[in-house]
Structure 1
Amino acid sequence: MKTFKILLVCATLIATPAWATTIELTVHGLVCGFCAQGIEKTLRKNPATADVLVSLENRLVAVATKDGQDISDADLRSALTNAGYDVKAIERTQNSMSDLRARLKVAK
């Protein structure tokens, strides 16, 4: 029975697709639409980026990665710091970008 449970868990892990991750960054220094456009343009250059959301009101930058890909915290922090922003926190979640947009009331 124990062997069956182990095989079942392994089969589930193999059959489960790799889901995209959403990386949420708390960023200080966001003051205008120009800031948002610059951040979005910078982060979209990364080949692992699927989508970017910038919320000035919430001081939040969210990056959705492509399935099975990742962007390191160091790369994200470096990109935003080099652009003149202060990254306060980085959190990885399974929240979809559409859920995040709905929660923050941000249009696409």
Structure 2
Amino acid sequence: MKKILTALVLGAAALAATAQTPAPGAPTADAGTVKFAVNGMVCAFCAQGIEKRLTKMSETGPLYINLAKKVVAVQPKPGMSIDVAKVKAEIVEAGYEVTSTQAVPQTVAAIRAEMKGK
């Protein structure tokens, strides 16, 4: 158990270090929304915690969080792009696991409408 905890702490520290200093060519979503698959979100409080962290970021615009589908969608503000590693780090630091990311051409509103239809 102690080894697992140590590995988690070291992994989180490494992630935080890379998030603070993005490498040249770090992934960004230049013109679209980024969807994150997130494990560990189970209640409205979970969604609220993620939303609070992401809305504080200067480049994030509209957000959509779907607990049932375990999706967080982030759209950049006009003229800006999403730093995928930075957003992922915020979600991880909030206590959740990001299992995948996907840049999509849809707006958050379109994703919300699509998810409601399913």
TM-score by length of 2: 0.70
Runs (4+) off by over 3 Å: none
The counterpart of 1:45, out of the listed 47, 53, 56, is 56
Q: Distance in 2 between matches of 1:20 and 1:45?
A: 20
User: What is the CA-CA distance between 1:84 and the residue it aligns to?
Assistant: 0.5
Which amino acid counterpart does residue 61 of structure 1 have in structure 2?
A: V
Q: Distance in 2 between matches of 1:46 and 1:20?
A: 17
* Matched residue, 2:79: 68
Q: Which has the larger radius of gyration?
A: 1
Contact 1:22 1:62 in 2 (8 A): yes
Question: Which runs of no fewer than 5 residues in structure 1 stay unpaired?
Answer: 1-18
User: What is the CA-CA distance between 1:52 and the residue it aligns to?
Assistant: 0.8
TM-score by length of 1: 0.76
Contact 1:24 1:93 in 2 (8 A): yes
What RMSD, in angstroms, separates the aligned Cα atoms of the two structures? 1.6
* Matched residue, 1:27: 38
Could you tell me the percent identity over the aligned residues?
36
The number of residue pairs the alignment matches comes to 88
* Matched residue, 2:6: none
User: What is the CA-CA distance between 1:20 and the residue it aligns to?
Assistant: 4.3
* Matched residue, 2:21: none
* Matched residue, 2:90: 79
